[in-house]
Amino acid sequence: MPLPALRIDYANVLDTAVGATHGLSLAELRRAEPEVKALVARIERERKAGQHRYRELPHDTAMLATVQAAVRRCRGKFENLVVLGIGGSALGNIALQTALNPCFYNLMSPRERRGPRLFVMDNVDPAQFGDLLDLLGPSLRKTLFNVISKSGETAETAAQFLVVRDLLRRKLGAAGLRANLLVTTDPEGGTMRGIVDAEGYASLPVPPGVGGRFSVLSAVGLFSAGLCGIRIDQLLAGAAAMDRRVAKTAVRQNPAALLALLLYLFYVRGKRLHVMMPYSYALKDLADWYRQLWAESLGKRLDLDGHVVNVGPTPIKALGATDQHSQVQLYREGPNDKVFIFLEVERHARDVKIPRAAGLPAELDYLQGRSLGALLNAEKRATEYALVASERPCLTIRFPVVRAETVGQFILLWEAATTIAGGLLHINPYDQPAVQMGKEFTFALMGKRGFERQAREYAQAARRGGRHVV
C-alpha cells in the first residue's frame, strides 16, 4: 500500500494570491531554480562522500535493530521513563510523543497505555526537577532514566545525571543503579562515554556525524518512542520515503528544495519571521522541534568564507485555533514581515460530533450536527483566507493523517530543507558556536577547571557594566 504523502500547497505565497509587493512570481521561482538544482546535486554528491549523515538514518536497519532490541529488553519492566537531555537531545522525543500517542497518555491507566509514562526533563529548574523526584519516589525501582547527551559535556544533563545517579545508588544500590539507567551518548568519546565504560551502564550510540538537532531519527529519539509503543519502523519508513523525494534535483518535485527556496526568497525580501502554525494539537511540539532546527542551524554570524553576515530567519510557533485569539490580530494588521506555514490534517485521528439539540438560539444552528474536526479545519481555511486578503504569504503542509509514516516524512523534510537553506544562505547549518560560548561561561561561573579565563572576562565585564537596577 502506498504511504500517505505530505503535500505542500504554495499557491498563497504567489503574487497571484497576495499581490506583487508581497508575493513571489513564478518567473522569480524559475530564475532561482538552477541554483537550487545545482545545490541539491552537490548535497547528494557530498552525501555519497560521507557528509549530511542524518540522511542515512532512515535506511540504517542495524541501528533500528539495536534500538528495537533495547526496547524489548525494557518492555514491561518500567512504569516510568524519564529522559534527561536538552535541545536536540529532548525536543524530538517530546515531539514524537505528542504527535503519536494519545493526548493524555501519562494520565491513562497502565493497561490502556502502550508503555511507561514518559517525562522529558529538558531543564534544570529545581522546583520542577524536585517535584518530579517526589512524584517518582514511591516507584523509583520501576523508573528507567535515559540520559541523552551526545557530547556528554552539557551542564544541564550532567547535573541531572549526578542527582539521579546519587539517588539511585542510595535507594537501590549499585545493581539498581545499573538496572535503571540507560545512557545514549557518543559511542567513542566524551565525558559520558568515559563514565559509561567505567561504571558499566547500558548504552545506546548517537551516530557519529549526526548533530543533536538532526538526531531524532537515531537512538536519541527512537528509544523513548519505541518503549512508549510508537512504531519506530514506520517512522523510519516515512522518513526514507521523504529522503527519496528530497534527493531529486528538479525543484518542483523536491519538497525540501521548494520549501527552502520559498523561505529563502522571502528572507531576502525582508520577511524574516517564519511562523509555523499547526491546526492539530498532535503536531504542536513538532513546531517546537522545527523552531530549534531552523534557528540553531541557520542563525549564523559568519558565512562559509568567514565574512560577518549575521543571517538567519526567526522561527515562531503558534497553535491553531488557540492562537487565533492571541496572535492573529498582529499577524494580519501588524508589520508584513512574516511568512505563515500552516500544518493541516485532512483526517484527524478521531473526531467529535457536535450534537443537535432543540430549543437553543438560532445563532448556534451552524454548529449543530457538524464536528470539531470540521470546525478546526474551517478555522484554518478562514484564517488563511483572511491573512491572504491582507497580502500575507501563507503556505500549507498537508498531512493526510497524523501517523508514524507522515511524521517521519515531516522530520526528514525539514532536516533536508535546513541543509538546503544553509546552502542558499552560504553558512554551515551544522555548528552552533554561539551556544558554545554560553556553555563555556556557565562552566566558568560554576567554577569548572580550565575556564578561569572566561571567569575573569565575565567579572571584568560585570564591573565595567556597573549596577543599574531599579
> Of 22, 274, 296, 317, which is the active-site residue?
296
Task: Name which of 154 and 418 has its Cβ closer to ligand PA5.
Answer: 154
CA distance 414 to 6: 12
Site residues for ligand PA5 per CB under 6 A:
86-89, 149-151, 154, 157, 211-213, 296, 432
291: how many CB neighbours lie within 10 A of its CB? 18
CA distance 335 to 438: 32
Shortest Å distance, C-beta 87 to ligand PA5? 2
Strands (E), 163-306: 181-185, 202-205, 273-278, 300-302
CA distance 147 to 82: 8
Residue 296 bears catalytic tag: yes
Backbone angles phi, psi at 11, to 5 degrees: -55, -35
State the residue for C-alpha cell 526528514. 412
Strands (E), 114-245: 117-121, 143-149, 181-185, 202-205
Task: Name which of 254 and 297 has its Cβ closer to ligand PA5.
Answer: 297
Question: Are 89 and 215 in contact, with CB atoms under 8 Å apart?
Answer: yes
Task: Name which of 86 and 427 has its Cβ closer to ligand PA5.
Answer: 86
Position closest to ligand PA5 via CB: 212
Shortest Å distance, C-beta 253 to ligand PA5? 29
CA distance 165 to 84: 12
Shortest Å distance, C-beta 218 to ligand PA5? 11
Shortest Å distance, C-beta 290 to ligand PA5? 13
> Of 44, 439, 440, 448, which is the active-site residue?
439
Shortest Å distance, C-beta 201 to ligand PA5? 16
Residue 48 bears catalytic tag: no
Backbone angles phi, psi at 221, to 5 degrees: -95, -25
Task: Name which of 24 and 412 has its Cβ closer to ligand PA5.
Answer: 412
Instruction: Indicate the DSSP class of residue 19.
Output: -
CA distance 390 to 214: 36
Task: Name which of 212 and 255 has its Cβ closer to ligand PA5.
Answer: 212
Active site (catalytic) residues: 296, 325, 439
